[in-house]
Structures are given as C-alpha cells and as structure tokens.
Amino acid sequence: MSQSVSDKTPDTLFLDNLQKIAIVSSGWHKSIVGNAVKASKEYFEKHGVIGDKIALYELPGAFELPLYVKKLIQRGKFDAIIACGFVVNGGIYKQEYVASAVIDGLMRVQLESGVPVFSAVLTPHYFHEHEDHIDFFSQHFIKKGTEVAEACIQTLESLYKLEKNCA
C-alpha cells in the first residue's frame, strides 16, 4: 500500500534545497490572526523547516498583502509565501470586495511568478467583538495555520519532485 503525500515527511534533499518560506500577516485582529502564524511556524518546525528558513512579516491590513508578497518574491529568496489575514465588515465597506481583491491579487502574484502563495485570509459572514466570536475564530485560525503550512510543505515537496523527475 503506498503512502499519500500527507503521510510522508519531506525528504532530506527537499529540505536541503529549501531557501526560505515567508509568513506574512495583517495586523488587524492580531490576537486572532497571530494564531495562524504561530500554528504555521510550529508545523514547519515540527517538519524540519527551522531557524532562518522561516521569515515573519506583519503588515497593517490584509489589503496590503498582495503587493508585499509580490515584492518578497521579486527578491528571489523565497520558495513559498503564506498570507494570513482576517477581513471583517468594518461598517464602511463590504468586506467581500476587500477579500476578493486580496485573494485575486495573491493568486495573480502566484501565477505570474511561479512561486506558490498560500492563503489563510478568512472572511466570516458575521464577526462581532464578543468573547464567543473571538474564541471561535482564534481556534479556527490555529486550524487554518496548520492546514496552510501542511499544504505548503506538500506543494513544495511535490514541485521539487516534479522538477527532479522532469529534468
């Protein structure tokens, strides 16, 4: 019986060839979004991506994520980037427009650059600054941080194997 990619740990050659992974987060709702950053970092460290192979950046808000991710990629030092943010209704604008612009921008950067960009940018239907909502989304961001880091490792390993086997 063969193992799925998710059952395997990254091979040594993959890790040896890894430059760096960036985790970029928005500062709005930092106490919630920070859980995704922490969970991603912990997942990476548990799977051998440690020390200076992880770079953390924080921006004011989610709208700034696509441009910042693009600038990081242009530096040529990152194999993948994870973007974390929480886009909620601020009463002035529809959060769906902001979230769409952010996600579309991240996808465009990924496709234009060829560098994988992963999103833990979430837009809830409803969010209120009440303890129940804060607790729920704090826990949810832990789960999403782990999931996005797992997807990042699996994708990088898969791309490494693709390049190795097709060279």
Q: How many domains does the chain have?
A: 1
Residue at 108 is within a domain? yes
What was the pLDDT predicted at 129?
72
What was the pLDDT predicted at 97?
76
- Name the pTM for this structure: 0.86
Residue at 93 is within a domain? yes
Domain with 106 in it = 18-166
| CATH assignment at residue 115 | 3.40.50.960
* 10-14, 98-102, 128-132: range with lowest mean pLDDT: 10-14
Residue at 6 is within a domain? no
Q: What is the 3-state secondary structure (H, E, C) of the chain?
A: CCCCHHHCCCCHHHHHCCCCEEEEEECCCHHHHHHHHHHHHHHHHHCCCCHHHEEEEEECCHHHHHHHHHHHHHCCCCCEEEEEEECCCCCCCCHHHHHHHHHHHHHHHHHHHCCCEEEEEECCCCCCCCHHHHHHHHHHHHHHHHHHHHHHHHHHHHHHHHHHHHC
